[in-house]
Amino acid sequence: MQNSKAFIRFVLPSSIILVLLSELAVRAMVDIKLFERDTEVGYWFKPGQSGGSLLTGSYAFNSDGFGVADEFRTTNGTDVLLVGDSVVWGTSAHQQEERLGPQLQRVTGWKVWPLATGSWSLANELRYLKRVPLEGTDAIIFVLNSADVGQPSHWNSEYVLPRSRPPSYLLYSLQRLYPFLRPPEKELPVRPADLKSEWEEFAASVDVPVYVIGYESGASSGSSCSWLPVWLDVPTFCYDPIGRNLEGAMLDSIHLTAEGNKLFARFIDGAVHVP
């Protein structure tokens, strides 16, 4: 009986306090970016969100889903859409100003509107472009790697692509680390792509220059972007950071550091001549 009273008076309250403090600590260190999903695009960052945390970088998405805080409004200067996957978006380690879009804007003087979500393929990108304003833009630049010219990516898990913030960040973080703690989930399939046809439909729908930057990474390094489809039929360029001995400017085998993004932005500026 004495042990039970001691547990109730001391151990239980201490445990509750420890859990609450752990929850507060995780909330301070972890920021959860939200996504939306469907069977057409697959998934995308939820528009109109921004944030950051003690351990992660900062980010912003306007109401159209462009990766900037500014609402889409073309300027009197040069407005460029920069489209891609996590090479454009970056990682959770980047501050907003370190991402490729803001870096390209500083290097070129263009107004750059980034549109990107991690692990998107070209098919995801083309389908989302149908939902955003394009009128008034002066050029569209795609950044593609060898994995982007296949089928569209689909939504697969609340623990990878969350649609709402969980009641407990602590429990959610544990479930991300240890999948056996997760409840059952059902993936959402996406409509298969006829990529060549969808690209041709897109190309016929725009009246501004379109450029493609092939981005070599990992095993594709050294291939001179030979994997780029010939049917793209637009000016293409190839960037190989490993081939340029820029491993020190890379976070991993794919993603660039802030300095790496600056170097990539300079390459794009030198390669692409927007009228």
Please name the amino acid found at residue 187: E
- What average pLDDT score do residues 220-235 get? 94
Whether 7 has a pLDDT exceeding 70, the answer reads no
Rounded distance, CA 270 to CA 22, Å?
A: 49
Per-residue pLDDT tens digits for 191-226? 999 999 999 999 999 999 999 999 998 878 889 999
User: Can you give the pLDDT at residue 246?
Assistant: 84
Contact 127, 40 (CB under 8 A): yes
* Residue-by-residue DSSP string for 60-115: E--TT--SSSSPP---SS-EEEEEESHHHH--TTS-GGGSHHHHHHHHH--EEEEE
Q: Which of 121, 127, 168 is nearest to 143 (CA)?
A: 121
Per the model's pLDDT, the better-predicted residue between 2 and 11 turns out to be 11
Least confident range from 3-7, 33-37, 258-262: namely: 3-7
The H or E element that residue 269 is part of is helix 258-271
pLDDT greater than 90 at residue 21 = no
Contact predicate 127/199, CB 8 Å: no
Sign, Cα dihedral of 59, 70, 109, 213? positive
Q: Which of 24, 6, 4, 51 is nearest to 173 (CA)?
A: 24
Average pLDDT in the chain: 93
pLDDT 10s digits, 145-175: 999 999 999 999 999 999 999 999 999 999 9
Read off φ and ψ for residue 201, nearest 5 degrees: -65, -45
Domains belonging to the chain, first-starting first, are 63-153+192-271 (3.40.50.1110)
Tell me the HSE value of 256 on the side-chain side, using a 13 A CA sphere. 27
More confident residue, 177 or 18: 177
**Amino acid residing at 15:** S
CB 61 within 8 A of CB 35: no
Q: Which two tokens stand for residue 70?
A: 């500014």
- What pLDDT, on a 0 to 100 scale, did the predictor assign at position 78? 96
State which amino acid sits at residue 71. E
In this prediction, residues 118-138 reach a mean pLDDT of: 97
| CB-based contact 52:28 (threshold 8 Å) | no
Main-chain dihedrals φ then ψ at residue 34, nearest 5 degrees: -100, 155
In order, the DSSP letters of 138-155 are -EEEEEE-GGGGSSPP-B
Task: Report the alpha-carbon angle 46-47-52, nearest 5.
Answer: 75
Residue range 89-113: mean pLDDT, rounded: 97
